[in-house]
Amino acid sequence: MADYERMSPSEVQLLAKRGDKKALYEMAWRMELMPGNRNNPSESCAWQDFWFEKAANAGYIEAKSRYARSLADRIPYAEYRQKAVHYFQSIVEDFDAGRFGAEDDRLDGIISKFYLGIMLCEGYHTRRDPIKGVELIKSAGVLTNGFEGFGFRLMFALGQMYATGLAQAGEDPTIDDLEQAIKYLDIAVRRFNDGRDDPRRRDIAKQLIETQKDRIVHKREWKILHGAENTVFTGADERRADALRLSPEVRQRLDADNAALARLRERLAREGW
């Protein structure tokens, strides 16, 4: 097995030129080769994007996972979100079909299920399928039993999905949805690990539990008075619109990232990449 981290830059570049998928991935971390100011976040982002994508397209699972997660975080941009879904789906399909090789980490498959599930619940610039999304998150939760550090995060996210109206087709959570939110947030609190998890998130989970209890009381009172549950706000759609709205600061940063990537692609194309 080649020890890529111990290789010199020229050795890594030579293997990358030959299409070695792990060498292509290693190039993403070789900041000493990065053009421009290495302390410039846009230049650094462009460098890693370029090599992550190269390694991902060469079939390297870890690169697909990291690249997709990076793309998924750029919520306002449709192209990035759609590419993220494409890579996550590819990983999940290979994982479920048992096509992972000996060198592939099962954790990348589990994380991809989790991220894809969240994205399908949100539907930001992608198709929205909350039923499939919740199924994927729950599946990831079952599979994390052998891995430390994910139990709290997964259950917390699932509780949030139910509480915010993203785990169901309707815009406003029902009483049953809010009870599901409490269930999963309570599991999250019980799975909290002082050595791994952020105590602020545990506090948020506890606050969310109390909030959902209050919402259930109000919904039940309304149902007694009016004979049906009230839907007083269009929660999911409003949050979706807010998430896709670009502030001038975010637009400036994303435009800088895109410009840096275009410059890097042009330069590396001249060098034969």
Amino acid 248: pLDDT: 84
211-265: pLDDT as tens digits: 999 999 999 999 999 888 876 555 566 666 776 777 788 788 888 888 999 999 9
- In angstroms, the CA 113 to CA 96 distance is 10
223-235: pLDDT as tens digits: 999 888 876 555 5
Residue 246 neighbours by CB under 8 Å, 6+ apart:
76, 254
| 3-class SS string, the chain | CCCHHHCCHHHHHHHHHCCCHHHHHHHCCCHHHCCCCCCCHHHHHHHHHHHHHHHHHCCCHHHHHHHHHHHHCCCCCHHHHHHHHHHHHHHHHHHHCCCCCCCCCHHHHHHHHHHHHHHHHHCCCCCCCHHHHHHHHHHHHHHHHHCCCCHHHHHHHHHHHHHHCCCCCCCCCCHHHHHHHHHHHHHHHHCCCCCCCCHHHHHHHHHHHHHHHHHHHHHHHHHHHHCCCCCCCCHHHHHHHHHHCCCHHHHHHHHHHHHHHHHHHHHHHHCCC
Residue 191 neighbours by CB under 8 Å, 6+ apart:
151, 152, 155
Phi, psi of 228 (to 5 degrees): -160, 155
- In angstroms, the CA 9 to CA 15 distance is 10
Residue 253 neighbours by CB under 8 Å, 6+ apart:
41, 42
The pLDDT-based confidence of 171 (bands split at 50, 70, 90) is low
Amino acid 240: pLDDT: 67
89-135: pLDDT as tens digits: 999 999 999 999 888 899 999 999 999 999 999 888 888 999 999 99
Give residue limits of the domains in the chain.
Answer: 17-147, 150-245
- In angstroms, the CA 273 to CA 271 distance is 6
Candidates 119, 5, 9, 130; CA nearest to 68 is 119
Domain 17-147 has CATH 1.25.40: yes
